[in-house]
Structure 1
Amino acid sequence: MRLKNTFLILLKLAVIVGLIVYLPSKVSTSSNAQIINAINPNPDDSTPVATNPQNTSFPITKDKKIHIYNTHQGEEYDGYNVVLGANYLKDCLNSQGYQCDVEGNDFEGYKAVHNIAYKNSYSVSKMYLEQSLQNNGGYDLIIDFHRDSISKELSTINHNGKSYAKIMFVVGKSSGKFDAVNQLSQKLSDIANRTVPKISRGVYVKNSHYNQGISDNMVLIEVGAQSNTKEEIQATVEIIAKAIGDYLGG
C-alpha cells in the first residue's frame, strides 16, 4: 500500500512538471507584443510596434497615409471609449481608400509600470509617435483622438433628426509649429461645419504643446464628452472622416 501511494504521488508530480514545461510554449509571442511594448522603456527599430493596421477588406486607392492615436487611452463615453472611436475613424478612412493605422501600444499600462503621472501622458504618446514615424516613414495626417469633459447639452447637437457629438480642435501655442497646426485645425473645423452646421466648436488655443512640434500635419480633436453615446460618437466620426477626405483630396 505504501509503495502504491508513493507511486501515485510521483505520478502526480510528473504531470505537474509536464504542465509547467508545456504551457509556456503555447503562449503566442505575437499576442503579447502589445504588453512587451508597454513595458519597454527604450523602444527602438528592433522593437515590434503594436498597431491596428489597414483594414484589408478595403483596397488602398489614395496615396495619403494617416496615423491615429489616443494620448489619453482611458477616456470613456457612455458605453464606448476613445480607443474604439479612433478605430472606427480608421475604418471610415480605410473605406475611402486611405492607408490608415491606429496606435495599439498600451500607454496606460506603460504609465502604470513606470509610475508616470497622468499629467505626463504626452511624454509617453510622444515616445511611441516618434517610433511610428521612424518605422513608417511619416504621415500626411496625424490625429490625437480625445474626448472633452463637459455637459451633454454642450457636447451634443441635433441635425436633421440625428444626434451628433460636437468636436473641438485644440492647438498648442508653444509647440513651435503653431501656425501650421492652427491653420490645419481651422480648415478641418470649417469643412466639418459645412456638412453639419455647428458640429465643431471651433479651435481652442492653449499655452501648451501637445506634441504638435513633431509635425505640421498634426491635429488634436476632442470628440464629444463623457455623456455621449456610441451612436453619437460614430455619427460624428463619419463627419470627421468626410472632412479629412475633403481636405486631403482637395
Structure 2
Amino acid sequence: MQTDKDLFDLIKETYPINPREEFVLDTADKLRKSARQINRRSRLKQFTFASASIALCTLALSWFFLYDGKDTLNNTFSTPQNEHSASTAAIKNQDPLVYIYHSHNQESFMSETSTNHSDDLFHEERNISLVGERLSQALKNYGIHSIHDSTDIKAELEEKRLSYSDAYKVSRVPLENALSHNKKLKMVLDIHRDSLKRNQSTISIDGKDYPRIAFIVSKSSAKSEVNFKFAQLLHEYTEERYPNLSRGVFTKDTPTQNSYNQDLFGNSVLLEVGGKENTLEEEYRTVDVLSEVISEILADWNEQEKG
C-alpha cells in the first residue's frame, strides 16, 4: 500500500525530467487522492469483517440465551444422561412389583462398628438398610420398580419405649400402608443379616467373597404354604445360577412363633444375607445377584400369566 511518503519520493524521482510545476502539482494531488481511496477501501474491508464478526457473535449469544440454544447444546452433549433420566422416569411411572423393608433396620457389621459383640452390632447409618437400597437400585437395571421402606424401626422402638421384640409390629404399619396402595406388588422381602461367623456365612465365586442367603418362612402364618413355595423358588433359581450361594429354606415353628408379617401377603419371605463378619461391599455383591434372580422369576411369572 502506497503512503504519502512513497508518493513524494515518486514525485521527486520525476523532477530530473523537469516537468512543468503545474503538472507536478496536479499529478501529486491525483496521486494523493488515489492513495486515500485505496486506504479507505482497505479500512472498509477491515470494518466490514469486524462488523460481521460482531454480528455473528451477537446472533450466537442471542440464540444461546434467548432462543433455547443452551437447551439445544445440553440435549446434544448430554444424550446418555437424558436417556438414563428418561429410563428412570419410566420405571417410576410403573407399578412397583417388589416391596423391600427391614424390621431390624440398624443391624450392622463388625467392619462398620467399634464392637465385636453381636448384641451391640448396630449403626444408625451404616447398616442393613443400605443393602436393601442397593437391591432396589439393582432392580432398576432390569426395569423393575420397587419400594424400599427406610423407616427407622429401631428409633421408633426407642421413642415409643417398646422392646426389640416389637420390631415386627412397628414395621407392619408401613407394610400394610404399602399393600393397600400398591395392588400389583408381587413379593415382599424383609432383609436382615445373620450372626454367623464368616466361614459359615460366606462363599467364594470367581475369586470374590459373597455372603450366603438364608430364606426364612414362619409357619404361624395362614399363608405359610404359599410363602414356603416362594422361598423355595428363590432358593432354586439362586442355586441354579450360583451354586451354594443359598443356604436353603428354613421354617420357624414354635408355640409363640412370630409371623414376621408374612400373614399379610403371599410371596413374603425373610432373608438373612450374610453375617456379622461380612462387609457392605460383599453384601452388595450378593444382592446384585439376587436382583438378577428376582428379575428372572418375575419374567417367568409374566410369561405364565400371558400363557
For Structure 1 versus Structure 2, the TM-score category normalised by the shorter chain is: 0.7 to 0.9
Contact kept? 1:144, 1:220, Cα under 8 Å: yes
Q: Is 2:209–2:282's contact at 8 Å kept on the other side of the alignment?
A: yes
- Aligned mates of 1:210, 1:164 — CA distance in 2: 26
1:210 aligned to 2:242?
A: no
Cα separation, 2, equivalents of 1:128 and 1:159 = 36
Q: 1:111 aligns with which of 157, 166, 170?
A: 157
Task: Select which of 178, 181, 187 maps to 2:227.
Answer: 181
Segments of 4+ moved more than 4 angstroms = 61-64
Note if 1:164 corresponds to 2:210. yes
Contact 2:96 2:184 in 1 (8 A): no
Cα distance in 2, alignment partners of residues 206 and 101 from structure 1? 26
Conserved in 1, the CA contact under 8 Å of 2:96 and 2:147?
Answer: no
Judged with a 3 Å threshold, the aligned counterparts in structure 2 of structure 1 residues 247 and 230 are, in CA distance, closer, same or farther, namely same
Aligned 1:231-250 pairs, distance under 5 A:
231-250=281-300
1:83 counterpart residue number: 129
1:68 counterpart = 2:118: no
Kindly indicate whether residue 189 of structure 2 is the aligned counterpart of residue 129 of structure 1. no
Aligned length in residues? 196
Matches within 5 A, 1:1-150: 58=88, 59-60=90-91, 65-77=97-109, 78-79=111-112, 80-137=126-183, 139-150=185-196
Q: Report which of the two has the higher share of strand.
A: 1
- Going from structure 1 to structure 2, the CA distance change for 1:89 and 1:184 (only over 3 Å counts) comes to same
- The answer to whether the 8 A contact 2:95-2:184 is kept is no
Alpha-carbon separation, structure 2, partners of 1:180 and 1:130: 19
Farther-moved stretch of structure 1 (96-105 vs 171-180) = 96-105
Decide whether the 8 Å contact of 1:155 with 1:225 is kept in 2: yes
Q: Deviations over 1:7-58 (max 9, x none)?
A: xxxxxxxxxxxxxxxxxxxxxxxxxxxxxxxxxxxxxxxxxxxxxxxx9763
Deviates further, 149-158 or 56-65:
56-65
Higher relative contact order (CA 8 A, sep 6+): 1
The alignment partner of 1:239 has SS state of helix
CA deviations over 1:137-173 (Å, ceiling 9, x no partner): 3511111011101101100000121110000000001
TM-score (norm 1): 0.74
Q: Do 2:95 and 2:182's aligned partners in 1 also have CA atoms closer than 8 Å? A: no
Q: What stretches of structure 2 of length at least 5 have no aligned partner?
A: 1-84, 113-125, 301-307
Match of 2:277 in 1: 227
Is the 8 Å Cα contact of residues 62 and 97 (structure 1) preserved in structure 2? no
**Secondary structure of 1:170's partner?**
strand
Separation (CA, whole Å) in 2 of partners of 1:155 and 1:64? 31
Q: Distance in 1 between matches of 2:280 and 2:101?
A: 18
Q: Give 2:188's aligned amino acid.
A: I
RMSD of the alignment, in Å? Answer: 1.8
Q: Quote the Cα distance in structure 1 between the aligned partners of 2:157 and 2:172.
A: 13
Q: CA deviation at 1:62?
A: 7.0
* Identity, % of aligned positions: 33
> Between Structure 1 and Structure 2, which shows a larger proportion of helix residues?
2
